[in-house]
Amino acid sequence: MKVELKQRGRAGLQFLGAVQEFSGKTLQSAAEAEYIAAVPNPPLDLDARRESVNSTLDTSASWKFDRLLTRWVAEEIYIRALPAIEKVRPAVEAWLDVKEPSGSLTLNLEIEAPTYWEHGFHLTPGGWDGHDLMGPAISELVFNYVLAPGGVGAVRTGSNPLDQRALVAGEAPRDTYKHIVDFGAGTGRFTFALRRAFPNARITGIELSQSALRHAFALASQQQMDIEWIHASAEQTPLESESADLVAFYTLMHEVPVAANKSIIAEAFRVLEPGGNLLISEIAPYDKQSAFRAVVLDWETENRGEPYWREVMATDWSAALAEAGFTDIEAYGVGGGVYPWVTRATKPF
């Protein structure tokens, strides 16, 4: 859907995108260069890295303003996006009221969300369902106007998040699958990449946010993509055991605590048939990052509504997968870098 915003709302979001782009491309790059020049042999421990970066750049205007603007944009996004979506509510609601559906949408109005769901992820007021149009507001406004041009977190300024999802979908071990399940599908950006990569597979998207699911279903119907959308948590899906040959999730893990992630991995193992594949895309562990980048990423934990980021990045997920029963585990950066970072595994026969 292309949301036709009123001029004021569109201009406000475009301004935020320009600020985010300037911060990430100019200020952050300058701060990184300052740090590398000052500390050619940085420490490896995360706490020591944080101390090293913060003390070295204590008087750096580039570092201070980059952090200030990153936090300000993260808060301001919703102050501008939600009123902007309200201005065009009738058009958005009409679009969400799908008349010619492709696939299916199953909502569970009695669902009991896990405790971690109460946190305002990414500083969203009330969380992913804190507004009934949060799904389209994030997907069509925040993503397109601010995050795509400006970057955020592990997504560097100037990179294309949609291309990154397509690259990850292409990392699935096989050329064909019968049934692919996307855990934490959100508004479907990675689900659509899986559909394009495997046009003959049955595709199921599992998502806890009702507003995200309604948006994903409408978008899939508009594009005539036959996808089954199910309202459920990734820890406890209604899918039959051994019913899928690929389970995938994209940047889901850092949004939930470690214990929940282990439950999600166990659920993936249950849903997969013997010989089935698991495909995970996440942020690379801190020990794969440079000292400066590790500190920039870790900053999200305390300053941009990412309460589980640090503990997830510090966990050995290859060991956790092995403990859950998976084999043939490999983790690597796609294209020679560290993002997207892919982990693949197989459920043994």
The whole-model pTM stands at 0.95
3-state secondary structure of 11: helix
Residue 172, C-beta contacts closer than 8 angstroms, at least 6 positions apart:
194, 197, 198, 246, 248, 277, 279, 344
Are 207 and 213 contacting, i.e. CB atoms less than 8 angstroms apart? yes
Write the single-letter amino acid at 137: A
Are 206 and 230 contacting, i.e. CB atoms less than 8 angstroms apart? yes
For 7-346, give the CATH class: alpha beta
Q: What is the pLDDT along the chain (349 residues), one digit of tens a residue?
A: 778 899 999 999 999 999 999 999 999 999 999 999 999 999 999 999 999 999 999 999 999 999 999 999 999 999 999 999 999 999 999 999 999 999 999 999 899 889 888 766 889 998 889 999 999 999 999 999 998 888 877 777 877 788 899 999 999 999 999 999 999 999 999 999 999 999 999 999 999 999 999 999 999 999 999 999 999 999 999 999 999 999 999 999 999 999 999 999 999 999 999 999 999 999 999 999 999 999 999 999 999 989 999 999 999 999 999 999 999 999 999 988 899 999 999 999 9
How many angstroms separate the CA atoms of 331 and 284, rounded? 9
Are 312 and 328 contacting, i.e. CB atoms less than 8 angstroms apart? no
Q: Taking the CA of residue 289 as centre, how many other CA atoms within 13 Å lie in the half-sphere pointing to its CB?
A: 24
Give the angle subtended at the CA of 9 by the CAs of 7 and 10, to the nearest 5°: 65
Neighbours of 58 (CB within 10 A): 9
3-state secondary structure of 283: coil
Query: Could you report the per-residue pLDDT of 123-166, keeping only the tens digit for each?
Result: 999 888 999 999 999 999 999 999 888 887 777 787 778 889 99
Using only C-alpha atoms, the chain has a radius of gyration, in whole angstroms, of 20
Domain boundaries, the chain: 7-346
Which of 77, 80, 63 lies closest to 28, judged by CA?
Answer: 63
